[in-house]
Structure formats: structure tokens, C-alpha cells
Structure 1
Amino acid sequence: MLISLCFAVLLVYLSRVKLRQYFRGAQFTENVSAKKKVAIVTGGSGGIGSRIACELNKRGAKVYLFCRNVEKAKRVVKALVNDDGAVASRLIVIECDFTKLATVRSAVEYFQSRETRVDILVNNAGIWSGGPYCTLTNDGNETLWQSNYLGHFLLTQLLLPQLQYSSAARVINVSSVCNWWADNVAKDTVYAMEKYCPKWRTYCRSKLAQVMHAVAMTNYIREVDPNSRITFNSCHPGCVETDLVRTLPLCSNMPNVLMKLRQFFLKTENDGAQTPLFLALSSEVEGVSGKYFNEMKEAGTHPLAYDLDACETLFEESLNACWLRK
């Protein structure tokens, strides 16, 4: 009887471990160095952004954290150095608020005064909701759209000279599986106040735009320079237990028992960093561009991401919205 009980307990324990491993998802274990590489990670003041920055740093890269909250970012850098063994001299914080395109431009100008190239650009910063009502930034764009997508579009365009200077730069857009539920990214939808959805749809549109951005940039850069080795990919990091999730209405006041259950089924911030790190460093995706990944594997995505005309239209409209037309 005792042996049977012990066996049952062991079986339950092993099942729980296996189940937890499943929900953690694929782990990037490839032994690849990032020594002497220059990286930019947006939204590095917390969540998976800080874990991506930490791992790149520990592998030898100099990492610039483009963050809205500089003081918070500096505290995170201190924690990464003290608790995770990151090297402080290779973690540099630059203020960059994606709701203000002027700060994106000033952040790039400051970066360009220090560096001649970018080897890795991780467009990771994002927000869940722009608020209960549709609001416009001072630049005239819907707030969530600009924060999650348009600001990163501008950042990528401004950094193209530095990306080209790298031997084989990689740009990673941290999107979401939520892109599947977007209706479209047409201008008359994105900018229509009556079509704003604070709970879901608006966020999905911005995530689809990130996927389409990687496709459009791949086509654009190959037309400008057929020999360019810059790659642009997007990915779903998984369902991650981050501050963004914790502040959702259903999660913020969740009882402790349900909170523990939620944490069991969600990825940790470190787990969520694995697919972006895979795209930033792995030899398996060398030369691969314009693709969408989930769990370190190429995955299917929204039909609009395969519509090259739609991707090009979004690209052209984004150039206009960022005042990049000459």
C-alpha cells in the first residue's frame, strides 16, 4: 500500500514537471556568442525585454535599452548586474517614448553619435491598451498603434544605415499570436474612432502590422540592395506572465489560488525571451527573412501577412505617417 502511494505521488510529481516544461515552451540552448555585437532592445525596462537584453549582454553584446522610463530602466540594469551577472559597461539606457516620435528621432541621433552599426534590433516595447477611448498622440496617430507599431517602424527606418553597416544585421519584431484576430490594418480602420476597441481588436491590429512590417521590409531592402544581408522576422513570444498581463482587469484582482494557477500555465519572462533570442542569434535562421515564428519554429499567420500588396500599402502609409516622405 505504501509503495503504491509513493509511486502515485512520484507519478503526479513527474507529470506536473512535464506539464510545466510544456507550458514553458521551447528553450534556446545553442552555444553562440554575441561578442562585439551591438544590440538595441526596446522596452528593456522590464518583462521579456529585460531578459533579452540580459542574455545578449551575457553573451558579449553591448546592449542599448530604448525605454520610456529611464529611472526604472536604470534600476533594472542594476538588478541585472547584481543578480544575473550582466556587465554594466555594456548596458546603456537611452530615453525613447514611442508615443512621441520626436523622442524616437532624438534617441536615434544620440545612438548614432556613439555607434556606427547595429547588429541586432529587437522591437519589443508595447502596451495592451491606449485607454477606454480612442486617443491620438501629438503626432496625430492612434496611441496604441503608434506605441506598438508605428514608433518601431520609424526606429527601424532611421537605423537602416547602421543596420546596413553590420555584416548581417537581424531585426526582430516581437508580435503576438493575437495578430490572427485582427480585422485589418487599413488606414480608414486604424484611424477611425468608432472602430477603436479598447479590449482587444486595436491591439491585434498593431500586432498584425508588426508581422506585415517584417514582410514589407524584407521586400523593400532586397529591392534597394539585392545583396543586403539584413533580415527582418517577427514572432510570438508565448503567453507570458509580465506586468502587461498582471494589469489586465481579470488578473489584477485575482485570488491567490487562481494567480498561482495562472502562473503555472503562463511562461516566465525568461521563457518568453527564448524565441526572440533564437531569431537574434541562432545559425538556424541565418539568411531567413520575412517570416513569423512561434516556439522557435516558422509558423502560419494572418492571411494579410501573405498579401504583398497589403504589406506594401501599409509600408507606404507608415512612411507618410512618420513624415519620412521627401
Structure 2
Amino acid sequence: MEEVEEGWDSLTIASGLVIIGFVLFMVRRFIKGAQFTEKVSVKGKVALVTGASSGIGRQIAKELNLKGVKVYLLVRDIGRGNDAVRWMVKYGCDTTRLLVRQCDLDDFENVKKFVSDFDKEEDHVDILINNAGCMFIPKFTTTKDGNEKVLQSNYLGHFLLTELLLPKLEAAPSARIVNVSSALHTRADTTDLERMNKKQEYGVVSSYARSKLANVLHAVEFTKRLRRRSSGTKITINSCHPGAVDTDLVRIPIYQNFVKKIFKVFIWFFMKTDQDGAQTPLFCALSKKLEGVSGKYFADCAEAKPHPWASDDDKAEVLYNQSLEFCKIQPN
């Protein structure tokens, strides 16, 4: 009788482990999110990816290159950009279609210099991924242009880059712009750049949320301006949430050692990898389902609900005009 009970106990334990394993597998699969598996023909296209030396940007650049795209890695540090290229080679990337260029979004003059130099390299741009940025800076910090660092890194630098590249985008048969935002944009409490730029208004989380809301509204307003400029425009711009990616968290200075070392496995299980985080930006950049779709917000390779202010035409227009003033440029 005892042998039978022991057998049942072993079977119960084994069954329990199988069930737990299956549940964990399904949870992990859910956390990974949707994967972009659509077959697309993009060989020969030209793409620019900001923040391509690490994280999501590096993964996006890798995937585009593997699909036959000529990719410009726009980075702050050329050395790190070259390291990224060496990393991509391990996955079969073609280095003749990987070009590292400096484009420091924290420096408007550097952005302008990049665009000026790039003008001599390519006659058009098919894909622009506005991905670079920073988050959760402990203290209020300003760039050499006098703007709050998170605001300029995540939004203003990309706004300027996009405006300056518009002629190249218009020269493409069709072009797509992707603003990598975040679900945290729904926590934003203002779209006023003057307020965002004040030290007394700075908040570790709020500054990030505000910059990411600006990315979303940029896509909305730029779409309207493109269509007013030309009813037959072939340029689209959308924003997206890549998901909660582990690299974002471990960049927070206060957590770098503690979280990275103590909770490495926990982070891996409950957060997306860089590869997973790249899927929705790739979907926005490449999917045939989004031909002609512009001004929308996406998450997990599907349209998602943005901040209510994404439907506020006045806020989007005011932000756009303010952005032109902050970047000291005239509208196209």
C-alpha cells in the first residue's frame, strides 16, 4: 500500500511540475509579445536607425540588414557603433550595407552636420527609425543647446532630424518614419515645452513620459502637415511602444548593479529582450498591412490606444510649432 502511495506521490509531483512548466512557458510567451514574421521585399532600401549601437536600435539595424536593407547606424559614439557592427557580423549581416555615422541628438549642430554630410551619400531615405534616447536621469541635466536632456534626446533631436531629412524622404518611392515611444507616454501631464524645460518641473519618470507623448503627437501632427503639403504623399509616420525591455531598466544608474546582479533572472523572465522589443518598430517600418497608414500608435504589432491628447488637434499643433522654435528652424 505504501508503494502505491509513493507512486501516486511521484506522479502527482511530476504532473505538477509539468503544469508549472507549461504555465511558465505560456507566461514567458505572452511577455515576449507579438513577433513580426511577415514576408516582405525590402532589398535595396535605405534605412537610418538612431541609437543603433545597442539595445532595440541595434536589433532593428541587424534585422533590416538581414532583409537586404542598407542601414546607416546613427550613433553618438563611433567606437560603440563599430562594436555594434562587429556584433552583427556574428549573425550573418553584410558589412557593406552597415554604415556607422555620428549623429548626437543632444547637439543640434551635430545633427545638422550629419544631414549635410549625408546629403552627399544618398539621394533618398526609405525608412527612418527614431529610436535613440535616454530615461530616468536622476537629476535635471541640460544639453549644450540648453534643453533638458531627456526632452532633447528622446524628442527634440528626432524632431529636428526628421524635418531636415524630409527632402530625402520625399525623394523615395514611399517612405516610413517610426517614432519609438513608450506606454509610459500615457502618464504625461503636459505638452508644453517651456514647462518641460524648467528645472522645478523635472521629474525622473514624468520627464520621460512627457518626451514620449511628444513622440506620439509628432506623428499625429506631421501626418496632417504632410497631407496638406501633398494629398498624394507617400510618406507615413507612426509611433509605437516596443514593450518593457530589460535594457531600459538596467540603464537607470541607481539600479545598474543591484538589479542587474540580483534580479538578472527575474528581469529576463518578466521583461522583453532587445529582440522582442524590436518587433513592433519593425512591424511599423515594414508591414504591408500599414501601407498608407499614418499618425497612429502601435503596440505588440497592432494598433493601440494612445493618450487622449493624441486626438487633441490644438495640442499637437502647438507642440509642433513650439518644437520648430526650440530647434530654430522654419517649417518645410
* Cα separation, 2, equivalents of 1:142 and 1:190: 7
Q: Match for residue 3 of structure 2?
A: none
* Cα separation, 2, equivalents of 1:316 and 1:206: 16
* Cα separation, 2, equivalents of 1:74 and 1:207: 28
Q: Match for residue 99 of structure 1?
A: 106
| Structure 2 counterpart of 1:42, from 45, 50, 53 | 50
Q: Secondary structure at the match of 1:23?
A: helix
* Cα separation, 1, equivalents of 2:206 and 2:194: 15
Q: Match for residue 56 of structure 1?
A: 64
Q: Does 1:167 align with 2:134?
A: no
Identity of aligned residues (%): 43
Q: Match for residue 305 of structure 1?
A: 310
* Cα separation, 2, equivalents of 1:72 and 1:188: 33
Q: Match for residue 41 of structure 2?
A: 33
Q: Alignment length, in residue pairs?
A: 322
| Structure 1 counterpart of 2:233, from 222, 228, 234 | 228
Q: Match for residue 22 of structure 2?
A: 14
Q: Match for residue 23 of structure 1?
A: 31
| Structure 1 counterpart of 2:295, from 266, 290, 309 | 290
Larger radius of gyration: 2
Q: Secondary structure at the match of 2:284?
A: helix
Q: Secondary structure at the match of 1:86?
A: coil
Q: Secondary structure at the match of 2:119?
A: helix
Displacement, 1:257? Answer: 5.3
Provide Cα deviations, 1:76-105, integer angstroms capped at 9, x if missing partner. Answer: 101101x21111010100001111011101
TM-score, length of structure 1 as denominator length: 0.95
* Cα separation, 2, equivalents of 1:67 and 1:34: 23
| Structure 2 counterpart of 1:70, from 54, 78, 84 | 78
Contact kept? 2:250, 2:260, Cα under 8 Å: no
Q: Secondary structure at the match of 1:254?
A: helix
Question: Greater shift after overlay, 105-114 or 233-242?
Answer: 105-114
- Which residues in structure 2 correspond to 1:171-320 (within 5 Å)? 171-197=177-203, 199-242=204-247, 244-248=248-252, 249-250=254-255, 252-254=257-259, 256=261, 258-320=263-325
Q: Match for residue 90 of structure 1?
A: 97
Q: Match for residue 134 of structure 2?
A: 127
Q: Match for residue 147 of structure 1?
A: 153
Q: Secondary structure at the match of 2:329?
A: coil
Contact kept? 2:250, 2:259, Cα under 8 Å: no
The one-letter code matched in structure 2 to 1:4 is T
For structure 1, list consecutive stretches of 5 or more residues without a partner in the other structure: none
The one-letter code matched in structure 1 to 2:83 is R
* Cα separation, 1, equivalents of 2:137 and 2:178: 23
* Cα separation, 1, equivalents of 2:106 and 2:255: 26
Q: Does 1:137 align with 2:124?
A: no
